[in-house]
Amino acid sequence: MSQIEIIDITKIYSIDSLNINAVDNVSLRVEKGEFLSIVGHSGSGKTTLISIIGGIIRPSSGKILFDGTDIFSFNDEKLSGYRSEKIGFMFQFSSLLPILTAKENVLLPCLFSPAKRSDNEKKAIEYLNMVGLSDKINAYSSHLSGGQQRRVAIARALMNDPEVILADEPTGDLDEKTEADIMKFFKIMNEERDITFIMVTHNTELARQTKRQLKMSNGSIKEL
Amino acid sequence: MMKKFTLFSLALKNLKRKPLRTSILVIAIGLLVSAFVFALSFVRRVDSSIKITSERLGADLLIVPTGSRGAAEDVLLENEVKSFYMDKGIVERVKKIKGVDELTYQTYLVTITGACCDVPESIVIAFNQDTDFIIKPWLNKKLGRRLQKGEAIVGSESAFNIRIGLTEVDSVLFGNMFKMVGVLDKTGTGLDNAIFIDDENIADIVRGGKANIKSGQISLIFAKIKKGHDPYKVAGEIEDSIIEVDAVARKDIGKNIINTLRDINRIFSITVILASILSVFLVWAVFSAIANERAKEIGIMRAIGAKEYHVVRLFFLEVLVIGSIGSIIGIISGTVLSLLMAKSFTILKNLAADLNTVERVFIATLSFLIGTVVCVAGALSPIQRIKKLEPLLAIKEE
């Protein structure tokens, strides 16, 4: 049994009586510990697909099986639990809450997790140290650069020890060094912790660094 | 020690991000609650004053000269200084009415400073100690004996005016010297402003000619009804048999004031309801704006595991903080306002009884609930809308 099975997923957006097939009948299997990338142009459906995998939008049809269970058969409680415990999500935009410090942003998923751990603060600081932000623990996002904000988002995605990281353009708009640092960190997490990585990018150079590459075009997907 | 990061601390941070907007909401709720506390304090004070008076009088019926019911209520409920008289022979006629049990009567005399008396204007009540059941319980408690001729005892409020302290003083009442032998405990009725003398003194006062009263006159009769008789029926029979009197059942004492109060109550209620509706709309408008502003943040929180319940709880915590602070401010300002304004309302100025602690706590609790419920009601629809959005759609809604 694959960790993630994507079965005939279709997502249609209706905009002004116009139906747009963002994802068109996509099927895919992802094994535990894989590091795969999905490349494609803007509007090819990459973001919609990983949003469906992450359970943050429902497909028009099809199923996502996680460890054999259809996640969209869950009610809100269970689906939120899936997002909280199994998935770490990294958005393509700045997703930090501006009223919170870096540490509080990293701690945010813990507020929604049923597992109440006493060492969360320590763990948040450890993750911030790991992503090289030990001196920015109490800094607000407005005082962080784009790259630093992405790194806080990585630390936040790891906070609940997810089995899968879904990263949507994690290095977009970042300089080469920061991009390289982030990819290095992803690889370490993938290899040492056996976390599955599904990374969406339009950067083919970046995609080549992953073990498996797929390409999306007009809502359809194919292996490269 | 590090401050723990919780949903509550996130709610507080959210409120702090736009302090002016939060303050406006708090002030709006504060004003609503303040108006509610003021209105309720006003109505409850009048209502409870009437209830206390009718209960403490201990009589089932109040019998007054025809047309003097209002004047009698003014004396008993509002501490006004008024006199009215009827023939003492009416006492015997009332006794004969079926259902009447015990009877006692009182005579009200009005003092005029300088002309007859050396005390400030107040009412002097002459009562019959043999038949009395109105004053006697208070008198026994304080003096422990009968009042002698030439002795007077004063109500708790009068004591201040006459400056009776721990020592006994003499005062001239209607040309006669009276020894003030003590101060009664507070009764919470209009009797607190009176000076009490024995009925035996009336003959001397009439003879002195300094009071506007003739021999053989009394002001009112208090009657107890025999068990099993309906006070209203007995009152009707008294009025039918004795044309010179009006008979008022205990429950009807203060009815005129209560009727007036009902209208005031209605005005207050409409004002509070309108203010509540306005506040609900204000909270709704503000929280709709907040929900739109934070749609992306809510979407992100949902994407990283927040349940609908967490979103609702976060918003409700904010709403409850606003509602609670606004309500507390409103309760304090409304209470202060009701105390300050009490002297500006004729109806309140003369009322003997004030609100007790239990009533004040009741009003505060009710007002707190109104403030928070209005806040919650206003925020409900925007919260429901935002919690139902799929995370990605919420993120894109910005």
Q: Is residue A72 part of a domain?
A: no
Q: Which residues does chain B have within 8 Å of residue A97's beta carbon, measured at their own beta carbons?
A: 297, 300
Please determine, for residue A27, whether its predicted confidence score (pLDDT) is greater than 90: yes
Is A176:A99 a contact under the CB 8 Å cutoff?
no
- ipTM of this complex: 0.91
Higher pLDDT, B398 or A58: A58
**Do the chains contact at B306 and A85, CB–CB below 8 Å?**
no
pLDDT digits (tens, 9 = 90+) for A179-203: 888 899 899 999 999 999 999 998 8
**Do the chains contact at B297 and A104, CB–CB below 8 Å?**
no
Q: Which residues does chain B have within 8 Å of residue A58's beta carbon, measured at their own beta carbons?
A: 390
Among residues B39, B57, B76, B81, which one has the least CA distance to residue B351? B76
Is residue A166 classed as helix, strand or coil in its secondary structure? strand
Residue B145, chain A, CB below 8 Å: the answer is no
Q: What is the pLDDT confidence band of residue B82, given thresholds at 50, 70 and 90?
A: confident
Query: CATH number, domain at A198?
Result: 3.40.50.300
| Closest Cα in chain B to A84 | B305
Q: Among partner residues B17, B305, B309, which is closest to A83 by beta-carbon distance?
A: B305
**Do the chains contact at B304 and A54, CB–CB below 8 Å?**
no
> What percentage of chain B carries pLDDT values higher than 90?
37
**Do the chains contact at B393 and A57, CB–CB below 8 Å?**
yes
Q: Is residue A54 part of a domain?
A: yes
| Closest Cα in chain B to A119 | B4
Give the number of A-B residue pairs with CB atoms closer than 8 Å: 77
pLDDT digits (tens, 9 = 90+) for B352-392: 557 788 888 999 999 999 999 999 999 999 998 888 888 88
In the chain, the amino acid numbered B309 is Y
Residue A84, chain B, CB below 8 Å: the answer is yes
Among residues B205, B220, B227, which one has the least CA distance to residue B82? B220
Segments forming the whole domain that contains residue A139: 32-60+84-223
Q: Is residue A19 part of a domain?
A: no
Q: Model-level pTM? A: 0.73
Q: How many structural domains are present in chain A?
A: 1
Q: Is residue A187 part of a domain?
A: yes
Is B180:B171 a contact under the CB 8 Å cutoff?
yes
Mean local confidence (pLDDT), B194-221: 87
Residue-wise DSSP of B93-159: HHHTSTTEEEEEEEEEEE--BTTTBSS-S-EEEEE-TTT-SSSHHHHHHHTSSPPPTTEEEE-HHHH
